[in-house]
Amino acid sequence: MVIKNYIDLSNSLLEKYSVSIPRYTSYPTAPEWTEDFTQGDFLSANQSANEKSTPISLYFHLPFCESQCYFCGCNIVISKKHSIVKDYLVHLKKEIITLSELIDKKREVKQIHLGGGTPTYFQKEELRELFNSIKEKFNISKDCEIGVEVDPRVTTPDHLKTLSALGFNRLSMGIQDFNPEVQHAINRIQSYEETNKLIILSRELGFQSINIDLIYGLPLQTVSTFTRTINLITRLNPDRIALFHYAHLPQLIKHQAKYIPSKSLPTSNEKIEIFKKSVELLTTNNYIFIGLDHFAKPDDELALARNNKTLHRNFQGYTTKANCDLYGFGITAISNIQNTFSQNIKKLNPYYEKLDACEMSIYRGFVLKTDDLLRKDIIMKILCHGKVTKSEIETVYQIDFDKYFSFELERLKDLQNDALVNISNTVIEVTNLGQYFLRNIACVFDYYLQRKNAEQKLYSKTI
């Protein structure tokens, strides 16, 4: 059930459901993970993956940026001294060797992603060196999806040529907003022209899919300024668009508190209007709403997967690659191997020290129990397919669905009254309107969120 046409979203619904909820790139979400997770937990999950010969997804966190965008909530290191990359590269290569030795060589790598920070902070020679050591140690499949996040402000034509020659086939570009006043307020000056030039070159070089990141809810944004931004974006004609809601967490993020005064932000009502107008413009410009914050062209793999019910969700958001075990490299990187999540140390020096001592750099994680796996399955089905078939869940988990989830089904009635879901004896199905409230529907099945209602402020609002 993919939304093609514009839907008239009512303000009262958007207001009612604009609450703080996780984005469910994992379940249970990261705040539930603990330092009780051991190296033994990681190794036994890895062994089980080796025995099943599961395919692999590799994520490399390249955390450096030249300057601080004031809105940014990513795990980054700001430095003008590019020599900082040298040490990082040495340790990433150590981690590649350590982890690759644990992984059965028969297992194929189906997906590689360089995220950040800004991967193109690395010089082209450094990116080549990193990629060659990945190629040397892993069995990369011919149809491997190889993506990279690029900041157009520091990405040169030479970067793109090098990445393309190495086999990269996907790009994700940060833009956020083209309005000069908004750009000034977020400390990110980036012209339409320089971005357009890079997109044209990327297409000439044969990159198959280009994604653009936008944020609504930024300081000084209005419906009319953001309408102009969206119109420029549709001229750039990306294959995919991520339209994030600005996560303003000044209590946790110092530079947001210092540089983004609350009074410069659009009000809740203005944000709702900006969101509604953006959805209207994108869907009438032939973008399909995939779910949460993602839009794609109708012939893009993501939209096709949405139709065929082969869509999945991982730490990079929506993906078409199923059943891959994710191995993360670099500070803060996350791994998701079989029924475990684990995360690397967040700071550079302790991460270096661990690798120098030939130890693993994990600092926390989680082993999913049966109830977690069951709820994860349901949450992902809601986010990716908009439908949960009760009998499928009953067969896999040997439960009586209605009995097991009597509390959740009771809570869903309110959402059914608002026409966001249809509940029958056999299925729970998200309506076309409900597609815009997926997090609100999914979170009903989040055991930890129900228990930890009081701590919801840790997450960003849905709208």
Ligand X SMILES: C[S@@+](CC[C@H](N)C(=O)[O-])C[C@H]1O[C@@H](n2cnc3c(N)ncnc32)[C@H](O)[C@@H]1O
Which of positions 288-327 make contact with ligand SF4 (CB under 6 A)? Answer: none
Which of left, alpha, beta for 117 (phi over 0: left; psi -120 to 50: alpha)?
Answer: left
Least distance (Å) from ligand X to the CB of residue 114? 10
- 222, two tokens: 């209005």
Contact 262, 218 (CB under 8 A): no
- Binding ligand X by CB under 6 A: which of 56, 215, 430, 463? 215
Contact 71, 304 (CB under 8 A): no
Residue with smaller CB distance to ligand SF4, 187 or 310: 187
| Alpha-carbon separation of residue 371 from 27, 224, 400, 401 (angstroms) | 11, 47, 13, 12
Residue with smaller CB distance to ligand X, 55 or 116: 116
How many residues belong to the site for ligand X (CB under 6 A)?
16
Is 74 a binder of ligand X (CB under 6 A)?
yes
Is 116 a binder of ligand X (CB under 6 A)?
yes
Least distance (Å) from ligand X to the CB of residue 117? 6
Contact 324, 52 (CB under 8 A): no
| Alpha-carbon separation of residue 24 from 27, 240, 306, 314, 461 (angstroms) | 6, 20, 17, 8, 13
For residue 241, the partner it binds in ligand X, ligand SF4, none, with Cβ less than 5 to 8 A by kind, is none
Residue with smaller CB distance to ligand X, 61 or 297: 61
Asked whether the bond before 117 is cis by omega within 30 degrees of 0, the reply is yes
Is 316 a binder of ligand X (CB under 6 A)?
no
For residue 244, the partner it binds in ligand X, ligand SF4, none, with Cβ less than 5 to 8 A by kind, is ligand X
x/- track of binding to ligand SF4 for residues 34-73 (CB under 6 A): -------------------------------x--xx--x-
- Binding ligand SF4 by CB under 6 A: which of 116, 328, 330, 365? 116
Distance spanning both ends of the chain, measured CA to CA? 22
Residue with smaller CB distance to ligand SF4, 68 or 222: 68
Contact 210, 296 (CB under 8 A): no
Is 331 a binder of ligand SF4 (CB under 6 A)?
no
Contact 169, 145 (CB under 8 A): yes
For residue 68, the partner it binds in ligand X, ligand SF4, none, with Cβ less than 5 to 8 A by kind, is ligand SF4
Contact 288, 295 (CB under 8 A): yes
- Binding ligand X by CB under 6 A: which of 22, 55, 63, 174? 174
Contact 360, 98 (CB under 8 A): yes
Is 174 a binder of ligand SF4 (CB under 6 A)?
yes
Nearest residue (beta carbon) to ligand X: 174
Residue with smaller CB distance to ligand SF4, 117 or 217: 117
DSSP string, 389-410: EHHHHHHHHT--HHHHTHHHHH
CA angle at 452 for the pair 267 and 381, rounded to the nearest 5°: 80
Which of positions 73-92 make contact with ligand SF4 (CB under 6 A)? Answer: 74, 76
For residue 213, the partner it binds in ligand SF4, ligand X, none, with Cβ less than 5 to 8 A by kind, is ligand X
CA–CA dist 436, 34 (Å, integer): 32
Is 151 a binder of ligand SF4 (CB under 6 A)?
yes
- 361, two tokens: 């750099």
Is 103 a binder of ligand SF4 (CB under 6 A)?
no
CA–CA dist 272, 222 (Å, integer): 11
Binding site for ligand X (CB under 6 A): 71-74, 116-118, 149, 151, 174, 176, 213, 215, 244, 246-247
Binding site for ligand SF4 (CB under 6 A): 65, 68-69, 72, 74, 76, 116-118, 151, 174
